[in-house]
Amino acid sequence: MLIKAPAKINWYLGVLYKREDQYHELDMLMQQISLYDSVFLDNAQELSLSLEDTFSVPSTEYNIAFKAAKLLKEYSNYTKGANIVLKKTIPVGAGLAGGSADAAAVLIGLNKLWGLNYSLDKLCEIGLKIGADVPYCIRGGFARAQGVGEKISPLKIDLQYWLVVVQPKKGLSTKNVFAELDLNLLNRESRIEDTIKALQEKDFAKLPLSAKNDLQSVCEKLNPDIKKAVNDLKKAGARHAMMTGAGSAVYGVFASYKPADKAYKLLIQKYGKCFLCYTLK
């Protein structure tokens, strides 16, 4: 069985406050894109995980996809296992939710393979125990995510956007990024509704005025190449460019395929990890 695990971008990431449990309350606007990992699943007596290509992620029980399979097996009391093979394409430490997407794909796939018939709500409940982005990756689409990311409100969008995604060489640790964040320096005004409207109407004039990522300034200090990549995307014709998640990947939004393809061919010469893709509805 093959399950595709799409990456996501943040159109908006607002950090509201630090909670008593030490997590941060967030208000985010997210969408899946056509960049994806491939997850192959087969029935087996025991659980195992391997990587199809050499990639800098653990292929043992430290891997979030393996943790998802192990948790689902324990929760369901399933007596056998599965062979899990990951073919990675989504960069690591990029803010694209590659690991969470893999975990979500494993939960969705094993739910079918093992005949468990759990609802999406139940899979999201299980997935949240593994990572905050996993419930969104299970549901997918264009959505607003609140709380730590688990409160998901699907949104309607009929338009598709062409993107060029670039990852500067150095990835970032989400934990380190939040540790450096000074909440007192953030603009508290919420413009998420304006961002939703701009995207639904394909208003390239208003999108850059409302879209934001509260983590970007911190990440630019930790890795100055992020700011350079944003500027390079704008110079290459992006109508809007911003960092996704806790970095270090940035994306540029283009009016159509042709300018996106032209920018991709230009930027791939400078950045090894550069992807031409589009949003998924």
Mean pLDDT (the chain) is: 94
Question: Which range scores top for mean pLDDT: 40-49, 52-61, 175-184?
Answer: 40-49
- Full DSSP string of 108-169: HHHHHHTT----HHHHHHHHHTT-TTHHHHHH-SEEEEEETTTEEEE-------EEEEEE-S
Active site residue 194: no
Active site residue 8: yes
pLDDT of 139 strictly over 80: yes
* 3-state DSSP assignment of residue 67: helix
Amino acid in the structure at residue 74? E
Answer whether 66's CB lies under 8 Å from 27's CB.
no
Q: Which residue has the higher pLDDT, 185 or 212?
A: 212
Answer whether 112's CB lies under 8 Å from 267's CB.
no
Looking at residue 61, its pLDDT comes to 76
CA distance 245 to 16: 15
pLDDT of 239 strictly over 90: yes
CA distance 273 to 9: 16
Active-site pick, 102, 133, 214, 232: 133
Q: For residue 162, what pLDDT band results from cuts at 50, 70 and 90?
A: very high
pLDDT tens for 80-94 read 999 999 999 999 889
**Crossing angle for the helix pair 257-267 and 225-235, nearest 10 degrees?**
130
* 3-state DSSP assignment of residue 226: helix
Looking at residue 214, its pLDDT comes to 96
Return the percentage of the chain with pLDDT > 90, whole number: 81
Answer whether 114's CB lies under 8 Å from 122's CB.
no
Which segment of 88-92, 125-129, 196-200 scores lowest on mean pLDDT? Answer: 88-92
Looking at residue 90, its pLDDT comes to 95
CA distance 159 to 202: 7
Looking at residue 55, its pLDDT comes to 62
pLDDT tens for 19-42 read 888 889 999 999 999 999 999 999
